[in-house]
Amino acid sequence: MGVMRIVIAGKPGSGKGTQAALLSDRMNIPHLSSGEILRAEIRNATAFGKEVQEYVRRGEIGPERLITSVILEFIERKKYGKGFVLDGFPRTIYQARELDRRFSPSLCILLTLPDETIFSRLPNRLTCTACGRVYNVRELLPEREGRCDGCGSELVHRIDDRHETVERRLEIFREESAPVLDHYRRSNRLVPVDATHSPDAILRDIIKALESLELTNPV
């Protein structure tokens, strides 16, 4: 088995975090969420964390070079170069190229679904206030009601889940992701998976795709 580095891409609300977590469990490789990495840097008050915090406080994502350094240094430090499921990164073509230079992903799984489906699911979304993990009141409930399976913190309906906010995020996604997806498509690493099904069914389709590429561990 070779090195398995997987990027999970898709619109906001397509279930990237959920699939990354399920895939990480199933394949026994770490799940790296760019959001969680940034929050951990801030929590641990690292030099990066202090810098990033300034942007987060203003509701900004931060300059792409800074974010790129934070994520890549984290992967380096934790010796995750041998394998990971990465969600939330790369967002831009610059980040995709930098990731290729250091820890080139084997493939990029693109979760596809129509905008209407995302909007219809918004009222069902629950988000962890601490680690950002996303749940769904219909399809993916936490084990303890109102509490995150990962860190035990409180789950809430995010204010970010308002229709207009999501519309704006979908617009940004379309603009930013086009060159990134094209980058993976041209290097034959883009694997689209229909994300309109239940989380378990989507995971099955992802595993099937990995098996057809002979990228899975024999379990």
Q: Which of 22, 32, 75, 148 binds Zn ion (CB under 5 A)?
A: 148
Strand 31-33's sheet: what is its strand order? 31-33, 83-87, 4-10, 107-112, 190-194
- Residue 6 binds to Zn ion (criterion: CB under 5 A): no
Token pair in block for residue 41: 């840097």
Rounded Cα gap, residues 174 and 197, in angstroms: 22
Q: Smallest distance, Å, CB 143 to Zn ion?
A: 12
Q: Which of 45, 151, 156, 178 binds Zn ion (CB under 5 A)?
A: 151
Interface of this chain with Zn ion, residues 113 to 132, rule: CB under 5 A: 128, 130-131
C-alpha 52: how far from its chain's center?
19
Element (H, E) at 115: helix 115-121
Site size toward Zn ion, by CB under 5 A: 8
Question: What phi, psi does 37 have (nearest 5°)?
Answer: -60, -45
**Beta carbon nearer to Zn ion, 144 or 162:** 144
Q: Smallest distance, Å, CB 149 to Zn ion?
A: 8
Q: Smallest distance, Å, CB 96 to Zn ion?
A: 28
**Residue ranges in contact with Zn ion by CB under 5 A:** 128, 130-131, 133, 148, 150-151, 153
